Structure 1
Amino acid sequence: MQPVVHLAVGYVCYALYTRRRRDAIPHDGAAIAAILGAALPDLLDKPIWLVGIVDVGRTIGHSLLFALPLLVALGLHARSSDREVLAVAFAVGYLSHVGTDVPWHVLAGDVHELGFLLWPITPMPPYSGTKSLATVPGLEVTVMTLWLEAVVLVAGIGLWWVDGKPGLEAVARALSG
């Protein structure tokens, strides 16, 4: 999944969670935490891949062996500092990222590419890239994962917009001064 789509998915997952648990939309801090959580796996893995430290762009940040202890530690710290809402938002965003990297591989039959889930215990072969999902009969048009990702991105931005763009003003204020 493209990195920007993960941000939208992280927000959508947390927004659905807050609607179900609290019958509310995410507040600024929680929205930002969910989006940052959704960004972290790529922020950890892509730079070390781009500079050649590792051969693939899904290693430590995408591994449950790193993510789960990180999220437990964050949760324990948040509990002691009365910031549990932010820790939950971050965890939902983070786990949405890792979780949404799984279906494309399963649907395309590339389950061997799921090695990132338990890296470094399991190997992570090179990512084969955008996947073909189906061919539209009669048109001979191949539906690619990028098409579905574009729909998810637009839907996520739409929900965030309808929710009042939580987090935008806080980030703008932080950047301006």
Structure 2
Amino acid sequence: MYSRLVYRKPPDGIAVLAIVLGTQLPDLVDKPLAWTFHVLPSGRSLAHSVFAAVLASVVVWAYCRRRGRSDLGAAFAIGYVSHLVADGYTYLFTGEYVYLSYLGWPLLPPPPFGDEGTFLTHLQNITLSPGFALQLVMAVVVYVVWIEDGAPGRAAFGAVLERIRSSS
């Protein structure tokens, strides 16, 4: 939406990769460090903190700006912040503010989720709740828009993978 509103065109492939990285980074950092390596107190702590979001977004935006692509920094930041919003909106609407404490970690304690288990535990506990159904509908809408836009990012992702393979 940002690309369409500001630039009046769909995002290019690299911008799509930037937003995908931004949306996934909090979980790519926190979940393994908490659930697998037990280094963090919760799967929503370090990278789910507003402090980490601001720091990462400023660093990425400044780097992208120096490269003449501040739009990529904006895409990353929008993705990162949207992840935090998506993780917390139900707690906000239900008044369960204690579960939003991850936004202020480490100044606030981690959310009282209890034993969060492992990746497998979370996969086994997926149910078709209204919230999960809404997420599925949103994913389908995003996928359809992405296809209509010509699947930007597919070629760029392939190029990144090829670079990784060739450097190994």
The 5 Å alignment of 1:100-139 reads 100-127=86-113
Matched, 1:158 2:144: yes
Alignment partner, residue 82 of structure 1 = 68
SS at match of 1:101: helix
Alignment partner, residue 148 of structure 1 = 134
- Pair 175,71 (structure 1): closer, same or farther in 2 beyond 3 Å: closer
What are the superposed Cα offsets for residues 97-140 of structure 1, whole Å, 9 maximum, x if unpaired?
Answer: 1122121112333221000111011112233899xxxxxxxxxx
Alignment partner, residue 135 of structure 1 = none
Alignment partner, residue 134 of structure 1 = none
SS at match of 1:61: coil
Between the aligned partners of 1:171 and 1:78, the Cα distance in structure 2 is 18
Identity of aligned residues (%): 32
- Alpha-carbon distance, 1:57 to partner: 0.4
- Alpha-carbon distance, 1:83 to partner: 2.2
Alpha carbons 1:46, 1:57 under 8 Å: kept: yes
TM-score by length of 2: 0.81
Q: Which amino acid aligns with 1:100?
A: A
Alpha carbons 1:55, 1:126 under 8 Å: kept: no
Between the aligned partners of 1:118 and 1:103, the Cα distance in structure 2 is 15
Gapped regions of structure 1 (runs ≥ 5)? 1-15, 131-141
Alpha carbons 2:61, 2:72 under 8 Å: kept: no
Alignment partner, residue 7 of structure 1 = none
SS at match of 2:41: coil
The correspondence for 1:65, drawn from 51, 71, 96, is 51
Structure 1 vs Structure 2 CA RMSD: 2.1
Alignment partner, residue 20 of structure 1 = 5
Q: Which amino acid aligns with 1:62?
A: H
Alpha carbons 2:44, 2:111 under 8 Å: kept: no
Alignment partner, residue 27 of structure 2 = 42
The correspondence for 2:79, drawn from 79, 88, 93, is 93
Alpha carbons 2:23, 2:76 under 8 Å: kept: yes
TM-score by length of 1: 0.77
- Alpha-carbon distance, 1:143 to partner: 4.8
SS at match of 2:112: coil
Gapped regions of structure 2 (runs ≥ 5)? 117-121, 123-127
Matched, 1:174 2:157: no
Aligned residue pairs: how many?
151
Between the aligned partners of 1:21 and 1:97, the Cα distance in structure 2 is 21
Higher strand share: 1
- Alpha-carbon distance, 1:172 to partner: 2.3
- Alpha-carbon distance, 1:36 to partner: 0.7
